[in-house]
Chain A
Amino acid sequence: MSRIIRTTVLAVLGALWLLPVYLLLVNAAKSPESFTTKESWIPTDFSLLDNIAEAVRLSGLAESAASTLLYAVVAPAIAVVVGAAAGFAIVALRLRHGFAWFVVIFGGTVFPLQMILLPLFDAYSRVGLFDSRPGMIVVYTAISIPFSAFVMRNFFTGIAHNVFEAAVLDGASTWRIFARVYLPMASSALVAVFILQATFIWNDFLLGLVLSQSDTVRPIVTSLAGMQSTYGGAQMSTVLAGGLLVSLPTVVLFLFTQKFFARGLALGQY
């Protein structure tokens, strides 16, 4: 197919793909007074910032955002190091039955979350972790570990073992070799996994829905869902503005780190 046809097809399809984004921007910017469900395609005014402020006020989005940021930074940070440590034990330290242990950790990712929701809810309620930030961080960390261990094991497999032996001859301890040699070599993979997991956690809905209830602990996407059911009828432009606010961080992060994303996906898929 000629280049011109290909470019045209892609441009038309791409424009079609951007229409929902256009509709979101235009309607999230309409003040509640000028918003009508009958005229969605034509911009009227620009009250986006007012709408965002109103959305934040209505659903306590500011507190949600702060908590979610905490979850999305701390949990993947712990998970990549824990996952890298597991990969290091299996590949560099040649842990006995290493592959079996790897399967045990990786197996944690293959079943649906539905399988753990109820016991977690039950146990969290009993030990006082329900609706608490530490509780959310712990569960997000745990579900991020399998993928992280998977990628890091694959990555370390690509490092020649005599790198490890040379460091041993230099008298370095295993901890030192891990922290000073292996982790720095893996920095790009670590960043890739971190970004993927941070996005996943920021976008989580289900765990937030089951394991939290207060505005201060509830993740932001769960708050958005609550806002949609409560105000979706009467204040649609406010809800759309809220949706825009909640979505912006991951979309921007993704667009600016596409290379890392692709790398993380490639590391994870193969």
Chain B
Amino acid sequence: MTSDQTPNPRRAKDQYRWSAAGFIAPGVLLVAVLLYLPLLWTTFLSLTEYNGLGDPEWVGFANYVEMLDDPEFIGSVLNTLLWVAGTLLVPVGIGLGVALLTWNLKGGTWLRLPFLIPYALSGIGVGVIWSFILSGDGALDQALAAFGIADTPRWLVDAPLNTVVMILATAWQGVGVNALLFTIGLQSIPKEPLEAARVDGANGLRLFTSILWPMLRPLTAVVVGLSIVASLKTFDIVQGMTKGGPGRASETLALTMYKETFVNSEYGLGSAIAVFLTVVTLAASILYLRQQLSSKHGV
């Protein structure tokens, strides 16, 4: 904006004040009414005893105390941590591997395709397929039997193995999108330093550690942040495959919240778990929000 086009910037600003308010109002209103109001109400309910009948009764932090005292809740926290670690290790790791392998490779787009097919599936869809594969004497057991391995564990029953195999099912779905993101990152690396490094004789691992990895770091922070946040919220696939069972052995925090609230009608306790999950998720989000909000490159 140059000053001769707008003689009085201050006046120009005021001129659009109401118009600007009108343009942003629908977004702010919808988000406020449907997201922020419920958020505040859940926070309030977490400090009450309530089952949907009558009025919420103020109990202070009793729900939080009850929650932290409950071994099932601690188990749910541990399962959720396993999800966070597992989805970082497997889908992000393999995704980076696939991106590096297809990078500058003739036919790379086609070779990446098998990994992308499961991406757009719903968590329930993934669960339907894998529940079938992992059922007793199912496709996996048959394949193992063909290799002479007859004594297989009960994949979806034995804990914590069931959480591990569900993480692998999620990895099957998630590798493609991570590969796609890392590919975008690799393609945006300027050619000159790469060529210079190649001329200097760097290749393979050395090229990766000295040039690629440092340049991919901002993107990696985003992918890692997204992966952590998504895994903290894990619900669909567990609900679809084990319903948190057997018993409550494979519950994640999102599932525990759902059960306490909508199955047991423990609205206060369920809300306390939701608040706990939110605090953890927010802490993890800061990791990638800082990246998202501060930088504008690539757009």
What residues of A have a CB within 8 angstroms of the CB of B105 in the complex? 3, 6-7, 10
- Which residues 98-149 in B have Cβ within 8 Å of A in the complex? 98, 101-102, 105-107, 111-125, 127-133, 135-139, 142-143
Distance, CA A232 to CA B176, complexed state (A) = 28
Interface size class for chain B? 35 or more
Asked if B132 contacts A23 (CB within 8 A), the reply is yes
What residues of B have a CB within 8 angstroms of the CB of A89 in the complex? 19-24
B292 within 8 A of A: yes
Known: A116-B42, A203-B121, A270-B299. A108 touches B180 (CB 8 A): no
Interface size class for chain A? 35 or more
Asked if A254 contacts B275 (CB within 8 A), the reply is no
A14 within 8 A of B: yes
Asked if A83 contacts B27 (CB within 8 A), the reply is yes
Asked if A95 contacts B101 (CB within 8 A), the reply is no
Question: Which of B1, B20, B138 is the one whose CB lies under 8 Å from A40?
Answer: B138
Question: Which of B42, B117, B125, B184 is the one whose CB lies under 8 Å from A243?
Answer: B125
What residues of A have a CB within 8 angstroms of the CB of B282 in the complex? 110-111
B196 within 8 A of A: no
Known: A205-B236, A251-B117. A114 touches B31 (CB 8 A): no
CB distance from B150 to the nearest CB of A (A): 13
A161 within 8 A of B: yes
Distance, CA A270 to CA B226, complexed state (A) = 12
Distance, CA A139 to CA B18, complexed state (A) = 27
Known: A23-B139, A96-B17, A266-B298. A110 touches B30 (CB 8 A): no
Asked if A1 contacts B21 (CB within 8 A), the reply is no
Asked if A228 contacts B20 (CB within 8 A), the reply is no
- Besides A40-B132, A86-B24, A174-B23, 8 other CB < 8 A contacts? A20-B130, A23-B129, A89-B20, A105-B24, A114-B273, A115-B39, A118-B41, A138-B30
Most buried by A among B1, B124, B175, B243: B124
Asked if A114 contacts B278 (CB within 8 A), the reply is yes
- Which residues 26-62 in B have Cβ within 8 Å of A in the complex? 26-28, 30-39, 41-42, 45, 52
Question: Which of A14, A90, A118, A251 is the one whose CB lies under 8 Å from B121?
Answer: A251
What residues of B have a CB within 8 angstroms of the CB of A247 in the complex? 120-122, 125
B5 within 8 A of A: yes
CB distance from B231 to the nearest CB of A (A): 11
Task: Identify the closest chain B residue to A38 (Cβ).
Answer: B137
B84 within 8 A of A: no
A66 within 8 A of B: no
What residues of B have a CB within 8 angstroms of the CB of A83 in the complex? 27
Distance, CA A154 to CA B114, complexed state (A) = 32
Asked if A24 contacts B129 (CB within 8 A), the reply is yes
Distance, CA A203 to CA B17, complexed state (A) = 39
Asked if B34 contacts A115 (CB within 8 A), the reply is no
Question: Which of B6, B122, B142, B175 is the one whose CB lies under 8 Å from A165?
Answer: B6
CB distance from A43 to the nearest CB of B (A): 13
Among B64-72, B159-167, B209-217, B255-263, the stretch in contact with A = B255-263
